Amino acid sequence: MVGIIVTQEDVFHSDSRFIAMGIFKDDIDSFTLDQFNNDAENLKKDVISKGEFKGNFGDACLLHINNHKAVTKIFLVGLGKKKDFTHESARLLAGKVVQKVKELGSREFSLALMNELSNDFLSSLVEGLKLADYSFNKYKTDKIKNYQNEVENAFIIASDDNEGLEKIARQASIISDAVNFARDLGNLPPNDCSPSDLARFAAEAGNLPNVDVSVIEYDELRSRELNGIIAVGGGSNHLPKLITMEYFGTKDKEVRCLLVGKAVTFDTGGISLKPSEKMDEMKFDKCGGCNVIAIIKAIAELCLPINVVGIIPAVENMPSGSSYRPGDIIKMYNGKTVEVGNTDAEGRIILADALSYGVKTYSPAAIIDMATLTGASIIALGSNVAALLGNDPRLVDKLIYAANQSGEKLWQLPIFEEHEEQMKSSIADMKNIGGRSAGAITAAVFLSNFVDSTPWVHLDIAGTAWFQEGSSEKSYIPKGATGFGIRTMVRLLMEMSNSQA
């Protein structure tokens, strides 16, 4: 795990062997490297005069420096025009630098954004560095050969000496580490991540001050009549669990936010079996739940003054003699009845019980759920944007604001009465499927029946939870689970903890 050190030392006096320098297009004619030595300056002049480096965003050029006491490589990266530079640019750039450092096998490097490092870009740089450094090696046995080139330290060169910088870097590190932790969980194969494994990982992650993790086991799920979770989990030899993580960061009783995350450790579709093509990707159907575990971990490490509860219904959706069936009618935890039209629409059923259990137990001021809920959300918005739906415009706006800052793209879909019609059943209170049209919306309509009047937002992360067909390449987003949504949520909770209402 790369360590981040913010330093005020002049880049030209750095004793790193590898220096990455971000250069704005505006400065392409004026910046000089002769403060290192003549050799560096001549190499720079050469690449610029030959048009190999123009300072455009995404340009990159590696200079091999001779005759310097420390520096052997200068990696010039183009930042584009100053006026176009954003947080997302900073994350992409930092990610690109880490990729290069790893490729070249350096253990340490310094990164300088020439004269333009505002506090705000610092957090994005840290995120880019840490998120791009991620790799999932747990199952590679040839570790020494392949992974000896771990990057140990990144020195970020700050332009002004501001006391707040350390804290900003530390917070961004905690958040990025939480994202990487969620990726580690999400990437686990289904044979190593059953509902009980996940419960164990949650307990380990929640071993922090002010966090209390508990697991409702099968017998208790039955006696409490959490029948939606019981039904969906019934087909698997691995029993379902309901994991709760309570974080009380303040002395008062009120739970400001309830987080609910879908954790289907493997989704075969059940009796409504999925086709085998890409079925392996359904190991990522637990990512919503993994994210919630990571969010609680992050806010506890940040010691946010806010009370938040995470609830993760964990099941495996399997076909067997004990599976629930199409045609079954389930009496849910809140007493409403659901006619099962398709056992592959399982996420909404377990979320529904978790939502109503959370509302009843904690009376939260707000609820946010995250789930790889529908293929329809991918059809609607693609694999780089998550769908957002909710019943409270103020909460919706807060999420969209936080998402704009984190660079995680969310787009709101509507819920109209006509959509509600689609979920009606002739023999029960509702069905679990609403036909082919508006599938992401009807899934949210289903959930809306289980939150009472609590302000609630649902994030359908089916397209964004892992790198999949249609995902666009980004330096800081690796293959596999992405942790999408965590940075937005932690930002939102930071905002909420700063304000009263």
Element (H, E) at 65: none
353 near Mn ion, judged by CB under 5 A: no
From the CA atom positions of the chain, what is the Rg in Å? 25
Work out whether 59 is an interface residue with Mn ion (CB under 5 A). Answer: no
Is 82 a catalytic site residue?
no
Half-sphere exposure of residue 114, counting CA atoms within 13 Å on the CB side? 23
Q: Does 316 bind Mn ion (CB under 5 A)?
A: no
CA distance 120 to 166: 12
Q: Is 479 a known active-site residue?
A: no
CA distance 26 to 142: 46
Q: Pick between residue 109 and residue 466 the one whose CB is nearest to ligand BES.
A: 466
Find the part of the chain contacting ligand BES (CB under 6 A) among 153-161, 206-214, 242-250, 373-381.
373-381
448 scored as a contact of ligand BES (CB under 6 A): no
Nearer to Zn ion, 91 or 348 (CB): 348
Selecting among 17, 170, 200, 274, the annotated active-site residue is 274
Q: Per rule CB under 6 A, is residue 423 in the interface with ligand BES?
A: no
Residue 177 makes contact with ligand BES by CB under 6 A: no
Place of tokens 């392949």: 146
Quote the least distance from Cβ 286 to Zn ion, whole Å: 9
Q: How far is CA 319 from the centre of its chain?
A: 30
**Closer residue to ligand BES (CB): 210 or 326:** 326
Q: Is 486 in contact with 178 (CB distance < 8 Å)?
A: yes
Q: Residue 374, interface with ligand BES (CB under 6 A)?
A: yes
Among 83-91, 250-258, 320-328, 369-377, which window interacts with ligand BES (CB under 6 A)? Answer: 369-377
**341 phi/psi in degrees, rounded to 5:** -95, -25
186 contacts 286 by C-beta, under 8 angstroms? yes
- Of residues 250 through 309, those in contact with ligand BES by CB under 6 A are 267, 285
Smallest distance, Å, CB 429 to Mn ion?
21
Kindly state the tokens that stand for 129: 């560095």
Q: Which is nearer to Mn ion, 177 or 346 (CB)?
A: 346
Binding positions for ligand BES, 326-355, rule CB under 6 A: 342, 344-347
- CB-based contacts of 434: which residues, under 8 Å, 6+ apart? 419, 422, 423, 442, 443, 445, 446
Residue 170 dihedral angles phi and psi, to the nearest 5°: -65, -45
How far apart are alpha carbons 282 and 347 in whole angstroms?
12
Kindly tell me which of 59 and 267 has the beta carbon lying closer to Zn ion.
Answer: 267
Q: Which residues are catalytic?
A: 274, 348
Q: Provide the binding-site residues for Mn ion, judged by CB under 5 A.
A: 267, 344, 346
